[in-house]
Amino acid sequence: MVKKRLASGEPCRKCAQAEDMLRRRGLWHRIDEVVWAQEGDPDAAGWRLAAEHGIDTAPFFVVRDAAGERVYTSALKLTKEALAQGAPAPPAQPASAGPSPDDLAAAARELEGARPEDIVAWALSRYGKTCAIAFSGAEDVVLLDIAARTGLPFSAFCLDTGRLDPETYEHIDAVRDHYGIEIDMVLPDPEPVRELVRRKGLFSFYRDGHEECCNVRKVAPLEATLSHYRAWLTGQRRDQNEATRSALPAVQADPRFSGPTGPLVKLNPLAAWTAADVWAAIHERGIPYNPLFDRGYRSIGCAPCTRPVPPGKSDRAGRWWWEHADDKECGLHVGSKPSSAKPA
């Protein structure tokens, strides 16, 4: 899909409407690449594609399959002719039952002790756009940098709970512009949010814990999003919290979420890295980072539930600080605790 980005940084109205329609029809995951035509930049990849195909409008879609190459300037026509049930589709990722336990065990052995760059390349070379990077707007930006450097296709998304700090939203836009990539902002279903706020108000987590709010604003949207992917990459590290992440593997079958055809591969390329490793990479490579880190934050989530971390405390100490150390997870990640830890 070729989309036009205005000088303001926003996609053009028709492009946004086309994407919205594809998402509502459950077809967005069939778009394997987004190429931008930047307003005012005739050398942008999107404009070059437009010139190649004699197109002077956006959005448009290039479909390549066994029948050849076709161009659509209408999203409706695309859905009827190219994305309809039974219509030809790109053969890039054939459906399968997902990896077997033996496959994952072999992958774990292969990637044990591997560099993050090798783990990311392993995932993207196998899964391409059906592998998504979960970007939180924090230090996991390193994963996007590694992925972008491979030159391989991938997807990226960010869970937008509606309660992130302004600095985080600005950082997400900065990362999008820096790498020229699409970051899908995943929003929660408004009805459960509305019902939770109606029953308990906006800050119930201070009284009865964060689990219910996180389930509504983060876990449920993540489950729906991951159902379209075969693998995902996270920025988790073992050093972030000894109580909940000390046994974090580099690759595993996701213990909570599933993909479209069964087991979902979950990869944690930064598992063996320390905070020092992450920040060395950020500074050495000139990677954009969230300015909240300069104010003492070391793990960044929703604004009401995150604060700077005192010296000597773990990175996750600034999250839900009013709760027990073993409860410093929002429910997105399970299965990373050592066997002696309190069950999830």
Catalytic residues: 330
Kind of pairing between the strands at 262-267 and 251-259: antiparallel
Residue spans of alpha helices (H) in 240-274: 242-245
H or E element at residue 265: strand 262-267
Q: Which stretches of the chain are DSSP H helices?
A: 13-24, 45-53, 75-81, 101-111, 116-127, 141-150, 166-179, 190-200, 205-208, 211-214, 220-226, 242-245, 275-285
Place of tokens 């830890």: 341
340: CB partners within 8 A, 6+ apart: none
Q: How far apart are CA 92 and CA 192, in angstroms?
A: 36
Nearest C-alpha neighbor of 269 from the set 100, 154, 182: 154
